[in-house]
Amino acid sequence: MAFRARLMLWAALVAALGCEKAEKIPAEFANLSPIAPNGEPRMYVADQDSSGTRLCFDAPDLGLPPGTPVMVVHAAFPQFSTPGRLGTRSKSPCFPPPISSVDSMQYSVDAPDDTIGRRGVPIIILGKVANGQMRGDTVTLMIEQGRAPWEFRTCASAEGVHATAWSGKPLAARRRWHAYYYLGYDVEADCTPADVK
């Protein structure tokens, strides 16, 4: 009986420590907006790291603690989105050059294991975002309350991938964000002028 009581106390202590760790994220980061005060979206292109167990993206020091919520959008069809958490930032490169500079600083992203390794270049949206809605095989996310949901697109140029976000239907609505991911090898180009302008 005493052993069982000690075991239950130990389990409660572990659970309390886990809750305390989760609560250490300041509210300003737990409810971080995906749109910065200057109007820029807090978005990055990412990839699976060389171990195949997490996602990574290059970024300057964002001042965000590990555990900050993110949304991961896989824009290759059929599209998919999943919530995740910002991991640590380190100088250890996620990918070998030429894709990444040995001098770059990269953040890791923790996402469900079964979503890592999907086809295409993932898009990381920093901040609290409601779960995506599916319209056929297309993800839509409510990034700005009271406005049109955003849709996402990736396309190839000669040696890389252009990732874009649109406040509505891609190529017809206003483009809100654009990033380029260098692959380092030739691919068949399928981008339009609206993707890359």
Residues with Cβ within 8 Å of residue 40, at least 6 apart in sequence: none
Integer Cα distance of 154 and 168 in angstroms: 15
- Domain assignment present for residue 177? The answer is yes
pLDDT of residue 89: 85
- Domain assignment present for residue 97? The answer is yes
Domain residue limits at 122: 25-196
- Residue 44's nearest CA partner among 151, 165, 129, 157 is 165
- Domain assignment present for residue 8? The answer is no
> In one letter, which amino acid is 188?
E
Mean pLDDT value across residues 34-55: 84
Q: What global pTM score does this model have? A: 0.79
Domain count, the chain: 1
Mean pLDDT value across residues 57-80: 90
pLDDT of residue 50: 63
> pLDDT category, 31, cuts 50, 70, 90?
confident
- Domain assignment present for residue 106? The answer is yes
- Domain assignment present for residue 93? The answer is yes
CA 100 to chain centre: 17
- Domain assignment present for residue 173? The answer is yes
- Domain assignment present for residue 13? The answer is no
Burial class from Cβ neighbours inside 10 Å (0-12, 13-18, 19+) for residue 88 reads exposed
Long-range contact set of residues 58-63: C-beta below 8 Å, sequence gap at least 24: 58/100, 58/104, 58/105, 58/106, 59/89, 59/105, 59/106, 59/107, 60/105, 61/89, 61/105, 62/89, 62/107, 62/126
- Residue 124's nearest CA partner among 175, 84, 172 is 84
> pLDDT category, 192, cuts 50, 70, 90?
very high
In whole numbers, what is the pLDDT of the chain averaged over residues?
80
pLDDT at 13 over 70: no
Integer Cα distance of 44 and 123 in angstroms: 6
> pLDDT category, 136, cuts 50, 70, 90?
confident
- Domain assignment present for residue 1? The answer is no
